[in-house]
Structures are given as structure tokens and as C-alpha cells.
Structure 1
Amino acid sequence: MASRSTLLKLTFVVAMVLAVVVLPPPADAAISCSQVLGYLRPCIGYVTGSVPGKVPPAVCCTGIKSLNSAAKVTPDRQAVCRCLKQLANGFGSGPVNRAGAVPGKCGVNIPFKISLSTDCSKVR
């Protein structure tokens, strides 16, 4: 007959195996708005017009490329979209239009339009 200690260990192992098999995997954590802002902070001067020029600064494009690389799954892309909409609400239409053109000027193809009318739930 097995000892009490052996039975407890066996029960623990069986419970752990069942937990791994039965429980769903944790949901992917979405990128936070503070992370998005961190990537895009170098673009703010260009978008608001306080940094003149026809093209965004190189450091802005680096941030856009890095953010695009970080947001590879749908929850991350939707979180980025929602954050950009929140940030855009604080500016007029001029900066929002200028922000919408930044990815293209940086050679980055993002899967949604930067606009107050974008439905972020449809971003994939």
C-alpha cells in the first residue's frame, strides 16, 4: 500500500496535468496606451506642426516601425487603434490628418486608417 506522502504527490501531479489540459491558455495581453505613447512620442512635434518639414523625423519613423513590429496580433492592433483614437481626440483635424499620413511617409503599412471614425473592433 502506498504511503500517504506518495498519494499526496500523485494527487498533486494529476491535478497539475488536468489544469494544463483543461484550463484555457491566458489571453494575450494587449499593448498599453503608455507603451504606444512611448513609441510615438518622437512623432508628436511633427504631427502638431511644432517640428516643421514635409517628412517625419527619422526617430519618429523608427518609433512607428517598432510599434508596428510589436503589434503583430489582433488584440495588440486593436489596442493601438483605440489608443491612437484617444490621443487624436485631444487634437484638431489638422494634426489627426497629419498623423494619418505618418506611417505611409515612413514606409510602414499599418492595417487601419488613423482617423476618429475608424472602428477599432474591426481591425485585424
Structure 2
Amino acid sequence: MASSRALKFVCLAGCIMFMIASTTEAAIQCNQVVNTLSPCLYYVLGTGVLTQQCCNAIVGLNNSVSTTPDRQDLCRCLKNTASQFSFSSRNVARAAGLPGKCGVDLPYKIDPSTDCNIVK
């Protein structure tokens, strides 16, 4: 059950992270993104509090995507994972609020229907 919840979280987090920008040259790997965002799982599901580890994960992902193709790849990775699950509007709202709560300013609306091709 925890694995299912972890995958659900990653999907929600994908709605957050697809628009994050920053500075490095690393290629996006979906399994690494899932692992990175795991500290946010219980907060997004509403069964835990927002932790510094979660915010560190979000800031780290923000810092790992420096180019438009990287940001678009991250978006696609997370959206593909997210498409396997359905989430409550409450979970989506909690995930959408994570960047702001962690001090990451995103110039795009967090939404599962965002077109990854328009992410800059």
C-alpha cells in the first residue's frame, strides 16, 4: 500500500515539478525524481506535515533543471507516472501548494492538464 501511495505522490508531484526551472546539466531520470520527492508523500496525502526534507527535495529538483528540454522532460516523466493514478482535488491542491510553501516561485500554473510542450 505504501508503494501505491508513493507512486500516487510522485504523480501529484509531477504536477508541481513540470514547470520548475534552474541550473545544472543533468538529464532527467524518472526513477530519480520519484525517489527525490518521496519525503513529500505524507504531506500531499494529508497524513503528515510539510518537512524540511520535502522542501529540500523540491528546491533540489528546481536546481536540477536548467534548460527548456530538461523542464519539459521532467513534466513528461511525472505526467506519465501520474496518468496511472487518480487523485482527490485535496491531494492535487496540497501538491500544487508545495513550491510556494518551500520558497520556490513557479511562473506556471500547476495543473495535471498542463501541456508539457509549452513549459519553458
What is the Cα deviation at residue 115 of structure 1?
Answer: 1.3
C-alpha distance 29-61 of structure 1, shift in aligned 2 (>3 A)? closer
Report if the CA contact (8 A) 1:82-1:120 is conserved. yes
What is the TM-score of this pair, normalised by structure 1? 0.66
Distance in 1 (alpha carbons) for counterparts of 2:63 and 2:108: 15
The match for 2:89 is 93
Distance in 2 (alpha carbons) for counterparts of 1:30 and 1:47: 26
Larger Cα-atom Rg: 1
Which runs of 5 or more residues in structure 1 are unaligned?
Answer: 1-27
Question: What do you get for the CA RMSD once the two structures are aligned?
Answer: 1.9
Q: How many residues align?
A: 94
Which runs of 5 or more residues in structure 2 are unaligned?
Answer: 1-24
Identity of aligned residues (%): 50
The match for 1:40 is 37
Matches within 5 A, 1:1-124: 30-51=27-48, 53=49, 56-89=50-83, 90=85, 91-124=87-120
Query: Residue type of the partner of 2:40?
Result: C
Q: Which structure has more RCO (C-alpha within 8 Å, separation ≥ 6)? A: 2
Distance in 1 (alpha carbons) for counterparts of 2:37 and 2:28: 13
Report if the CA contact (8 A) 1:112-1:118 is conserved. no
What is the TM-score of this pair, normalised by structure 2? 0.68
